[in-house]
Chains A and B, each alone.
Chain A
Amino acid sequence: DAGITQSPRHKVTETGTPVTLRCHQTENHRYMYWYRQDPGHGLRLIHYSYGVKDTDKGEVSDGYSVSRSKTEDFLLTLESATSSQTSVYFCAIMGLAGADTQYFGPGTRLTVL
């Protein structure tokens, strides 16, 4: 168990409302990632972080922002949710020093009505 939790696990919200998803790790890993997964597709990278206050965009970053003020927390914010952001969101951390495998949280199912 890589010690990754995500909250909330499920959320239903309305178009135009702000939403923040939280990823928390207990392993003190430097790299953290946010992905989204839509039905029948693989994961797509939204944003990632390589340290406190160090973040960068992935392939589908439009409409999303992130923050990392502490090593253990990586927040994903949808400033104004749209129906196209209905998806399952996964957080991941990269493994122990010297290893570059990613370990994933349980996911957050977000529905935007």
Chain B
Amino acid sequence: QVQLVQSGAELKRPGASVRVSCKASGYTFTSYYLHWVRQAPGQGPEWMGWINPNTGDTTYAQKFHGRVTLTRVPSISTAYMELTWLTSDDTAVYYCTRDADPGGIYVRFDPWGQGTLVTVSS
């Protein structure tokens, strides 16, 4: 079955960087856009960006521009999200999710990874 499995929880100091991985299985990795979405405690989801796993092309929410980098390694069907210059406001659960129609952006997010809790604290 289609599945996204993310790396484990992280505890980071303010000013540090974090990298979260998202390993895909059960489908052709390069055929579907991957999105990253975060959710702060008690808040709604917040879209961060997408990556075309085939070409590596990315689009980011302007709020995160310059701090977030999305990459992928097709040979191992894995995508990565790196966020730099962390502050306490970045404490959230970070999700990867697949756009469920191939080849484009349809805002049809299915499935989702299990989420990775990133805690930023001194």
Physical interaction between A and B: no
Residues of B within 8 A of A (CB): none
Residues of A within 8 A of B (CB): none
